[in-house]
Homo-oligomer: A and B are copies of this chain.
Amino acid sequence: MKRVLVYGGRGALGNACISHFKNSNWWVGNIDVSKSDQADANITVNPEESWVQQEASVVEALQQVLGGGGKVDAILCVAGGWAGGNAASKEMVKNADAMWRTSVWPSTVAAHLGAHFLNEGGMVAFCGAKAALEGTPGMIGYGMAKAAVHHLVKSLAAEKSGLPSAALPVAVCPVTLDTPMNRKFMPKADVSTWTPLFFVAELFHNWAEGKERPVPGSLIQLITKDGQTSLIPA
């Protein structure tokens, strides 16, 4: 049975990924601040811990869950969040800090897990953002965090990154995901341009199974129109 770790499995996208991989008969490990009933194993992150502490805790817990030398076939880092603010905003630094913790901390730890727990030819997938492919003046902290995630993916695809051979580091760069939270906070938006969570989960599963894989290091924009999503490498 193939194995996947979902970092952020309790978020909307994470939950969709866990369901899809379970339905496809994968073993699923959830890494998040709370447990997923669907997952085969749970590694609970303490959000009060520092970045370095969280990494050490997750590595230690994962070694126990997987047993000596145990590996996985895919790692999905789907943790994240959103906060706005331009340079004049009182909340700019506070929000930049929050974005760093919610996007970059888990992505960096996931990359480290990729180096130590991923099988050869495995996949480690991240969540970037189409908006952060350019400047993001109204959401500076968010853009910096996503730019860092994009850079991480490029670094992981380069030689001697520490990932096992033939591994696929990749990021999806959505515009807007069709999540319950986005529906709640943008009730009048045109949801036909939002990307369904199932689509992303299925995409990750296909790549994890080795189907239609993009080039390592790709930042794949998810462009949804009239409910149809196109994959466009940045």
Question: Which A positions have Cβ atoms within 8 angstroms of B?
Answer: 50-52, 55, 86-89, 92-94, 96-97, 100, 104, 108-109, 111-112, 114-116, 132, 134-138, 140-141, 143-145, 147-152, 154-163, 217
Contact = CB atoms under 8 A, between A and B. Distances in A.
5 contacts: A86-B115, A86-B161, A87-B112, A108-B140, A140-B156
Enumerate the 3 nearest inter-chain pairs by beta-carbon distance, A residue then B residue, closest first: A88-B162, A147-B151, A135-B154
B112 A135 contact: no
Copies in the complex: 2
A137 B162 contact: yes
Contacts of A112: 87-88, 92-93
A93 B136 CA distance: 26
Contacts of A154: 134-135
A140 B155 contact: yes
B140 A111 contact: yes
A159 to B, nearest CB: 6
Nearest to A132: B151
Contact of A86 (B51, B136, B160): B160
B136 A51 contact: no
Given A87-B161, A135-B217, A161-B137, A144 B93 contact: no
A43 to B, nearest CB: 16
A51 B137 contact: no
A159 B108 CA distance: 31
A89 B51 CA distance: 15
B158 A108 contact: no
B97 A111 contact: no
Contact of A93 (B55, B94, B143, B155): B55
